[in-house]
Structure 1
């Protein structure tokens, strides 16, 4: 509130009538000292030469003497002198601004918003002097201002002097909010925006794998906006904030102890400090007092090269600090320019005596308990914070700000009448420059500094983002040394990792700062309840999912026909399962099938060789040969079930199986009927034998087999069996079972049903004929063979249904082979035994004995 009260005093009471005259003079005087030099264009400058402002007078009962600011700031005074140096360097170069000189009016802001605003308003309202009545309220004598270093003060000043269309060129204010041209259309800066530094910091944290970090910020606009931009840059990354502490401006002891205690006890190894140099001094005083030495500090540009903290007292806690600094420059001649000052030759500069007392620890006033300054002391280059020109970064920003203004003026001087940028080609009057004209040319500047660096402002008034990456090493005598280990240019890092000394006692090893260790391959993250996303448990991937890298958030589903390996790190092709010839089971069944085929062929050869013997001729040798051929087909059809299913094999295996067995059973049924009729026909008057002659038997077998052929033909025509895939769970996941889909369950049921019907009929007739007299009872053998056949196929059904994968096919092959062997051995083994072992029984007399 008091800031705006002072502003009203400054605006509303700019002038007053002097009794007895028509002149006016300034009512309000600034509370700060200033250094002035006239010129054709006077550039204003705001510098915090002191860091403690006097308390404001809020009584408003009369004018009081200006109070003095306290605590001299050598570094800021060097910035002030750098501005004067740049102005004089430009004026001494007659080719740069011919017949035109720059002046300056630099004031102390005392590092407070109200005193900064008062200094700025004192500039734009003119120097204290008697003015004629007609001159009161004329245009300000300072049309452009360099400063302020603080973002919070720059916001206030920019909002205030913006009313007069006066541009500002700040050398240190980095708040991203100042890039908003709708609010601050005339604000420029040679300092990169905090947004760029925040992005660089976020990228550094991500690059180093630091996902669990602490944040410390200042309690001002610089700290609030800067840390908010860092959090915005971290949003969407894997970096989480363990804590966020704010440093108060009064640096209260208890508050500082609490902040450092939080830092010390946190599991976060990395701490990002987004603060200014004075805040850093207060923070690390307490850090040293609590002996916190196990943290990796990440610094912003405002304190990374703050030499006050590089003394041995702070090094154990700050060694290895990594941070971003403005581009360093060596400005020729600046060191000797700073050392030129002497109290006797700088009467116009009110700060020289304070500088002298600060540098040499003396006083110009006797009786203060200090030695008296003799005036013979000499400022040594690099011997103090003021004269140290080894880390010219902010100083270089001041230098560039002055040159940006000078280049804008240079462009104005080069303007050709009729070709100017304003209405009707009008060029500005350089002897009476308006602030808005300077602002227009500032937007267009694009030049090289005397140090060969390109400089321009983008549409937001910001310069190109460029940082040195600074690392704090330990130098001789235990002091800190600022070592450049990389650069950040155009959103890209260039870091020499081998040159980095890491903090927290890590040495050459990159410190680890994570809430939870990265999940190994084969696992995924599971966020812990009520904790940040960086704190998690590692859970194994589900079956069929994998994670092939460390630290993955989610497992990835394996593509179709692939499955996860036992460790869930690789997708492997799913096991394709079918009964192949290379399987042990496939080999055994193939051999058994081949053996059956060979035995059947041998039996066929035997019967063919002994075809004229009574035993072979007794029951129609033609049917016997047909039965043997059908049995051979039964054995061979088992081979069609082995191997990878394809379209032709699926159609062949079931149709060949159905037709072969029906042909076999039809032959047995025919022989059974012949046996029955033969014994019935022996009764007087019966003529049944004429109905079961060879022709009738062939016809009956053909008709029975033809029915099965028709069923199979319809099956293959309407819905043939086709290769199919079926997934089933195996030892390490699902297997792809290659099988033959039936196509039509009804057709398959008809094939089996018809075969079963013939088998049951044959069994029934054979059972009825089992007691008929015969030395070689054919009916009894057929009965045994049909019992085996029916038993096999009755047990086949539940076994087939319950068998998994390729074992389903194996069960079916086993049923085929078992029933085939049953028929072969029951029907033909006894006959072969008689043929080879009992040839004396292979006679008509023996066969007809009963």
Structure 2
């Protein structure tokens, strides 16, 4: 009868299978009980599925003729109730056979010594599940040298081979898991996350490993690290949700929590209307389990979880679906599972109070209830097989083919068995290799899941990638609560725009303010703005530098058009005067003007106009050479010629006051020698300048280095400094000033004798022009137009100076030559004696002017004149070889 009560067994809270070699088993058949109660509700998947996986694996091994032939494995399986202290009490069962009992003080009623039941000797233990339970149990098992292989404990501290030297596991440690979770966070672009851990070794060690690895790798900051108490008070999970919301930007929550805590934290998020806010990243304790997300589907949507790489074992599915009350009486908790699974009650022996339905015993797993293989079934079977393979190799080595247990394996040495366990290498139940490193850890292989709700509102875990030393993630397979295919953000601060640097908040490296790289600075790195090289400016995005555009004075510029226009008119006028003078070369007016000196002066005037063109032309070595040579040469020609003429006039009239003999060096040839001697000084200075500083071009980036880099320009110009310019023009200005002094001294000479007064007017006007030039040229503020203003000012000043000389000295003569030729006739020659007379009279007139009234002076002067001199209506003063 399938409903008949299960027979009473020797161990009411354990499963015992007879065998030649006994293995221990630790499974969380029940959850942790409330305060004061060790055990709570039955765990159908984590408890019964895993427990049955061990029984199934033992059955397969005992039936396998190749593995441990003629040796039967037995088992002693205990319930840990998901509590480390309770598991420690239970695990004492495994070491009873190794503890000698002292019965000397104990006697039976008839006086005979007691006979103790011989406990089973366990050679190895499979389990436990929770890391905290494994750590507690491992501490006692190592004292008795009993090897232990866990199928689910992943705490990093269990890798310490000095403290847990008899501990091994077929799952990778959380240090691998933490690295995989960090890689997931990094792949998502999240850099600001919170962590949530269940109190205990598993949760705290997992979070600690994650925090440590994230700190070492950088790029991810922990907003908060919260802990779920082992015995939470009412409202504790709501408080945790509110605390997580304090750093609302840290939407990603890294969870190392047990199944019950996961379920309750999701429920609290749902109660606080935070569905869709948090981005859960769950460890293998969440994995692909259904129980934590039952009735929490919406709040869990989008959760990314990881699970050691596994495969569903089809043989186990067939085995478990075939289990019933009649064929599975060895499992003392199967009746309780039956009630929970089918929501019914097994008569008077049932443990499910108030159930409206009674069990028939004919229910079938997978038909009358949902069934999905629990995620750790594969690892339970691999752990059992790892122990069996180690025993098999040990048997082969110690028993040398002896069928059954030989004497050498009657008392198995745990340390020797551990050596064989660490050396196993076989393909596990899922076809993947099962191996251990020197610390007893399995290699890290994880599947990455995301909990998704499809269009039919059906929730499921979907594989989106895997991790084997590095992450492989299919981002296109992911979906989020918002329906947006893009990954939600979990960052403290949004990424800075191009051309902005991060100014990190002190103490929080993942939080920053964005500062624009201003002016001529560019974004050199994520956190640095640097100044562009002097000849460069930032590009449009301020992410790099680019050459500053180079400009020059263009011919079409207004600053060039006016100087060129004046220069062209001046050149045409000068050319016209020269042509006129050449054509009327032997006329009296041209001869009286001093032909040789006039041509020198006109050449200087022409050069003053012509210098405009090299000053505006695009700078190169040739242009710069022309600028150096002709910038001061035109003025030098002009003022050297004028200075020679005014000096000659001055010397002639000064000599006339003293003697009747003419002064020396007043011939045209002498005048030319003096003039070119003065010009040679300028040329020698230019040659020295060429030798000490050869002409070349430069690009001046400071002249138009505006505050806005977009307007910055480099000015291509000749390398002529203001000081060099002053030196180049300084000699010509000295000649001009000296000429002006002589013009002042000869201002009293009668105009019929010379050109002293027109020269004087020319020099006065020229001085005014250059006095205006100096403040304009040197006082121009640093601006975008400075070079243009200076060039225009200099060229216009030169042209105006030339125009004054041309207009006052030669235009009247050209006018007479062309329009009044009757006045351009030979004049009566006069001896130097006449000049002496004029000079004497002029000297007396100057003296009398200072002593007498003007009328008296004229009267006295007239009385003193020689009355014997022939009178003439018009008097022309001219000398054959001494034209003034």
TM-score range, shorter chain: 0.7 to 0.9
> 1:357 and 1:605, CA in 2 relative to 1: closer, same or farther beyond 3 A?
same
Counterpart of 1:653 (choices 627, 634, 644) is 627
Q: Is the 8 A contact 1:172 1:397 kept in 2?
A: yes
How far the C-alpha of 1:577 sits from its partner, in A, is 4.2
Q: What residue is the counterpart of 1:484 in the other structure?
A: 463
Q: What residue is the counterpart of 2:856 in the other structure?
A: none
Q: Secondary structure at the match of 2:450?
A: strand
How far the C-alpha of 1:100 sits from its partner, in A, is 4.3
How far the C-alpha of 1:291 sits from its partner, in A, is 3.5
1-structure distance, mates of 2:375, 2:715: 73
Q: Is the 8 A contact 2:444 2:468 kept in 1?
A: yes
2-structure distance, mates of 1:240, 1:848: 109
Superposition TM-score, scaled by structure 2 size? 0.80
Q: What residue is the counterpart of 1:790 in the other structure?
A: 767
Q: Is 1:474 matched with 2:450?
A: no
Q: What residue is the counterpart of 1:378 in the other structure?
A: 363
Larger Rg: 2
Q: Is 1:831 matched with 2:813?
A: yes
Q: Secondary structure at the match of 1:796?
A: helix
Q: Is the 8 A contact 2:378 2:430 kept in 1?
A: no
2-structure distance, mates of 1:187, 1:46: 14
Q: Secondary structure at the match of 1:844?
A: coil
How far the C-alpha of 1:172 sits from its partner, in A, is 1.6
RMSD (Å) for aligned C-alpha atoms? 3.9
Q: What residue is the counterpart of 2:196 in the other structure?
A: 216
How far the C-alpha of 1:502 sits from its partner, in A, is 0.6
Superposition TM-score, scaled by structure 1 size? 0.83
1-structure distance, mates of 2:655, 2:100: 157
How far the C-alpha of 1:146 sits from its partner, in A, is 2.3
Q: Is 1:609 matched with 2:583?
A: yes
Q: Secondary structure at the match of 1:736?
A: strand
Q: What residue is the counterpart of 2:849 in the other structure?
A: none
How far the C-alpha of 1:396 sits from its partner, in A, is 1.7
Give 1:373-772 correspondences, 5 Å limit: 376-381=361-366, 387-389=371-373, 392-412=374-394, 432-474=411-453, 478=457, 480-497=459-476, 499-503=477-481, 505-506=482-483, 508-527=485-504, 532-547=508-523, 552-555=526-529, 557-565=531-539, 568=542, 571-581=545-555, 583-586=557-560, 588-590=562-564, 592-643=566-617, 645-647=619-621, 649-677=623-651, 685-688=659-662, 690-719=664-693, 722-728=696-702, 729-730=705-706, 732-733=708-709, 734-742=712-720, 745=723, 749-772=726-749
Q: What residue is the counterpart of 1:149 in the other structure?
A: 129
Q: Say how many residue pairs are matched.
A: 791
Q: Secondary structure at the match of 1:468?
A: strand
2-structure distance, mates of 1:302, 1:642: 82
> 1:572 and 1:698, CA in 2 relative to 1: closer, same or farther beyond 3 A?
same
Counterpart of 1:188 (choices 168, 176, 188) is 168
Q: Secondary structure at the match of 1:207?
A: helix
Q: Is the 8 A contact 1:467 1:489 kept in 2?
A: yes
2-structure distance, mates of 1:529, 1:575: 41
Deviation track 1:40-69 (CA, whole Å, cap 9, x = no partner) reads: 54333221112236989xxxxxxxxxx974
Q: Is 1:253 matched with 2:234?
A: yes
Q: Secondary structure at the match of 1:324?
A: strand
Q: Secondary structure at the match of 1:261?
A: helix
Deviation track 1:674-693 (CA, whole Å, cap 9, x = no partner) reads: 33345566679433354211
> 1:675 and 1:477, CA in 2 relative to 1: closer, same or farther beyond 3 A?
closer
Counterpart of 2:63 (choices 74, 88, 92) is 92
How far the C-alpha of 1:182 sits from its partner, in A, is 3.9
1-structure distance, mates of 2:417, 2:534: 68
> 1:688 and 1:220, CA in 2 relative to 1: closer, same or farther beyond 3 A?
farther
| More divergent stretch after superposition (322-331 vs 758-767) | 322-331
Counterpart of 2:243 (choices 253, 262, 279) is 262
| More divergent stretch after superposition (208-217 vs 662-671) | 208-217
Q: Is the 8 A contact 2:522 2:543 kept in 1?
A: yes
Deviation track 1:239-268 (CA, whole Å, cap 9, x = no partner) reads: 444444322222322222212333457533
Q: Secondary structure at the match of 1:303?
A: coil
> 1:436 and 1:763, CA in 2 relative to 1: closer, same or farther beyond 3 A?
same
Q: Secondary structure at the match of 1:688?
A: coil
> 1:474 and 1:716, CA in 2 relative to 1: closer, same or farther beyond 3 A?
closer
> 1:536 and 1:97, CA in 2 relative to 1: closer, same or farther beyond 3 A?
same
1-structure distance, mates of 2:209, 2:252: 18
Q: Secondary structure at the match of 1:143?
A: strand
> 1:726 and 1:374, CA in 2 relative to 1: closer, same or farther beyond 3 A?
closer
Deviation track 1:501-556 (CA, whole Å, cap 9, x = no partner) reads: 213x34544333344433333333344578x444444332221223599xx54445
Counterpart of 1:294 (choices 267, 276, 282) is 276
Counterpart of 1:273 (choices 243, 255, 261) is 255
Q: What residue is the counterpart of 1:12 in the other structure?
A: none
2-structure distance, mates of 1:776, 1:293: 113
How far the C-alpha of 1:428 sits from its partner, in A, is 13
Q: Secondary structure at the match of 1:482?
A: strand
Q: Is 1:42 matched with 2:22?
A: yes
| More divergent stretch after superposition (264-273 vs 183-192) | 264-273
1-structure distance, mates of 2:378, 2:459: 22
Q: Secondary structure at the match of 1:691?
A: coil
Q: What residue is the counterpart of 2:107 in the other structure?
A: none
How far the C-alpha of 1:720 sits from its partner, in A, is 5.0
How far the C-alpha of 1:277 sits from its partner, in A, is 0.8
2-structure distance, mates of 1:221, 1:524: 41
2-structure distance, mates of 1:470, 1:140: 42
2-structure distance, mates of 1:838, 1:167: 136
1-structure distance, mates of 2:85, 2:621: 93
> 1:711 and 1:55, CA in 2 relative to 1: closer, same or farther beyond 3 A?
closer
How far the C-alpha of 1:238 sits from its partner, in A, is 4.5
Deviation track 1:765-786 (CA, whole Å, cap 9, x = no partner) reads: 1222234333596222322332
2-structure distance, mates of 1:91, 1:572: 78
Q: What residue is the counterpart of 1:843 in the other structure?
A: 825
Q: Is the 8 A contact 2:310 2:430 kept in 1?
A: no
Q: Is the 8 A contact 1:720 1:742 kept in 2?
A: no
2-structure distance, mates of 1:373, 1:106: 29
The unaligned stretches of length 5 or more in structure 1 are: 1-29, 57-66, 419-426
Q: What residue is the counterpart of 1:176 in the other structure?
A: 156
| More divergent stretch after superposition (365-374 vs 282-291) | 365-374
Deviation track 1:600-651 (CA, whole Å, cap 9, x = no partner) reads: 3333223222212222211221121122223333333343333554455445
2-structure distance, mates of 1:819, 1:435: 116
Q: Is the 8 A contact 1:46 1:147 kept in 2?
A: yes
How far the C-alpha of 1:370 sits from its partner, in A, is 4.5
Q: What residue is the counterpart of 1:305 in the other structure?
A: 288
2-structure distance, mates of 1:597, 1:274: 94
The unaligned stretches of length 5 or more in structure 2 are: 1-9, 105-114, 401-405, 829-873, 878-884
